[in-house]
Amino acid sequence: MKLYSSEHHFDYPWTTITAANWQKYPNEMSSHVIGVDVLRREVYPETKILRTERLITCKQPVPKWLSMLTGGDNISYVREVSEVDLVNRTLTLRSNNMTMNHLLSVYEVVVYRPDPEDPNRTIFKQEAEITAYASFRRLCDKIEDFSVERFGQNALKGKIGFEGVLHYLDSEWIENRYLKHVRKELNVVTQEATEIVSDVTKKTSVILSEVNELTSEVISEVAGKTSGAIQEVSEKTSSVLSEVTDITSKTNSVLYQVTRLVKGGIFRGSND
């Protein structure tokens, strides 16, 4: 059996690490991971633990000398059981290979916990036990050495890949938080604008109603006064017309008398 261990820190809070863990795959550095399926998920309210079981599918080439033992198949499956402990603030992942585990057993434990000296950092600790099963000790040693080397390479790529995922998600979350804040502010402004418009509409309606009432009163008053004036003018006009008619009648009568006198020779000269 060979042991592999490493320790690292991420410059992100434990809460960010825990959330990003579910979106770790796929990433460019861990291209050998081609599938992740959730088999079971349970919550334990009394201990505040979330336990998840996942099946991870990997595809990567193996040496020709080892493919003779594995049958040339480069697809392998890994079972992972994770626990998010909110009380102790730890994320623990335990995994073991399910493919060819009668020839090679890999048991890995990864623990993420907050850095006690810096809450914005998370400590990463990884340990693995790699055991080969073969008839010859020399063959076992060769398989275990190769597996430790390959495991270390994948572990390094996994850390770099996770850093990329963290950077991307953290930027996305920051943008989402900003957009959420902007949307909240817009909602407040929209609500205030709606209230102002509603208030102005009500006041405008009241003012228009008062203006309409006053206009109606003025029109009615003007109409009343105009009607009286027209009536008075009409009466005076009738009176004047009556007088004019009377004068015209008298004038016509005088003209008639004058005409008769003229015809009777009253205005003839003494020589006639």
Structural domain contains residue 18: yes
Is residue 146 a part of any domain in this protein? yes
Provide the CATH number for the domain around residue 52: 3.30.530.20
Residue 49 lies in a domain: yes
Q: Domain range for residue 82?
A: 2-177
**Is residue 244 in some structural domain?**
no
Phi, psi of 130 (to 5 degrees): -120, 120
What's the confidence (pLDDT) of residue 238? Answer: 66
Q: Quick one: how far is CA 206 from the chain centroid?
A: 39
> For position 178, what pLDDT does the model report?
47
Q: Both tokens of residue 30?
A: 């861990």
Please enumerate in sequence order all residues whose Cβ is within 8 A of that of 272, keeping only pairs 6 or more positions apart, or say none: 265
Look at residue 120 in the predicted model and tell me its pLDDT.
92
Give the pLDDT score at 83: 96
Report how many domains make up the chain.
1
Q: Which residues pair with 35 in a beta bridge?
A: 57
pLDDT per residue as tens digits for the range 122-132: 999 999 999 98
d(CA 30, CA 164): 11
> Which parts of the chain register pLDDT below 50?
178, 267, 269-272
* pLDDT confidence of residue 191: 76
**Pair of tokens at residue 177:** 């938080």
Is there a domain that residue 229 lies in?
no
Give me the pLDDT at residue 270, please.
45
Whole-angstrom distance, CA of residue 157 vs CA of residue 162? 8
What are the residues whose beta carbons fall under 8 Å from the beta carbon of 23, sequence distance 6 or more?
165, 169
Q: State residue 159's pLDDT score.
A: 84
Report yes or no: 133 and 122 within 8 Å, Cβ to Cβ.
Answer: no
Q: Is residue 182 part of a domain?
A: no
> CA-to-CA distance for 122 and 219, rounded, in angstroms?
83
- Is residue 153 included in any domain, yes or no? yes
Task: For residue 265, tell me if it sits in a domain.
Answer: no
pLDDT tens digits for range 9-55: 999 999 999 999 998 887 777 778 889 999 999 999 999 999 999 99
pTM for the full predicted model = 0.61
